[in-house]
Amino acid sequence: MPEVLVRIEKVNKHFGENHVLRDIDLDIHSGEVVVLLGASGSGKSTLCRCVNRLETVDSGVISLAGVPLPDEGGELARLRARVGMVFQSFNLFGHLSVLDNITLAPIRVRGLSRREADERARQLLDRVGLGDKADARPAQLSGGQQQRVAIARALAMDPQVLLFDEPTSALDPETVGEVLDVMAALAADGMTMLVVTHEMGFARRVADRIVFLDEGRVHETATPDEFFDAPRTERAREFLSKVL
Which of these segments, 13-21, 24-32, 122-130, 227-235, binds ligand ADP (CB under 6 A)?
13-21
CB 220 → ligand ADP: shortest distance, Å? 15
Strand partners, 86: 164
CB 166 → Mg ion: shortest distance, Å? 6
Helix (H, G, I), strand (E, B) or coil at 93: coil
| Residue 34: closest CA among 200, 227, 196 | 196
| H/E run at residue 62 | strand 59-64
Candidates 7, 8, 35, 45; binder of ligand ADP (CB under 6 A) is 45
The yes or no reply on residue 40 touching ligand ADP (CB under 6 A) is yes
The yes or no reply on residue 20 touching ligand ADP (CB under 6 A) is yes
Binding mask 12-51 vs Mg ion (x if CB under 5 A, - otherwise)? --------------------------------xx------
Candidates 10, 18, 56, 91; binder of ligand ADP (CB under 6 A) is 18
- Name residues whose C-beta falls within 8 Å of residue 36's C-beta, 6 or more positions apart in sequence: 44, 47, 48, 194, 195, 196, 211, 213
Q: By the 8 A CB rule, do 176 and 144 touch?
A: yes
Which of these segments, 43-51, 99-107, 175-183, 201-209, binds ligand ADP (CB under 6 A)?
43-51
CA distance linking residue 82 with residue 132, whole number of Å: 28
- Name residues whose C-beta falls within 8 Å of residue 11's C-beta, 6 or more positions apart in sequence: 21, 23, 24, 25, 47, 50, 57, 59, 60, 61, 62
Rank residues 36 and 157 by Cβ distance to Mg ion and give the closer one.
36
Q: How far is CA 151 from the centre of its chain?
A: 10
Rank residues 51 and 125 by Cβ distance to Mg ion and give the closer one.
51
Rank residues 32 and 165 by Cβ distance to ligand ADP and give the closer one.
165
Rank residues 37 and 152 by Cβ distance to Mg ion and give the closer one.
37
Q: At what angle do helices 143-155 and 98-108 cross, to 10 degrees?
A: 20
The yes or no reply on residue 209 touching ligand ADP (CB under 6 A) is no
Instruction: Give residues in contact with Mg ion (CB under 5 A).
Output: 44-45
Instruction: Give residues in contact with ligand ADP (CB under 6 A).
Output: 15, 18, 20, 38, 40-46
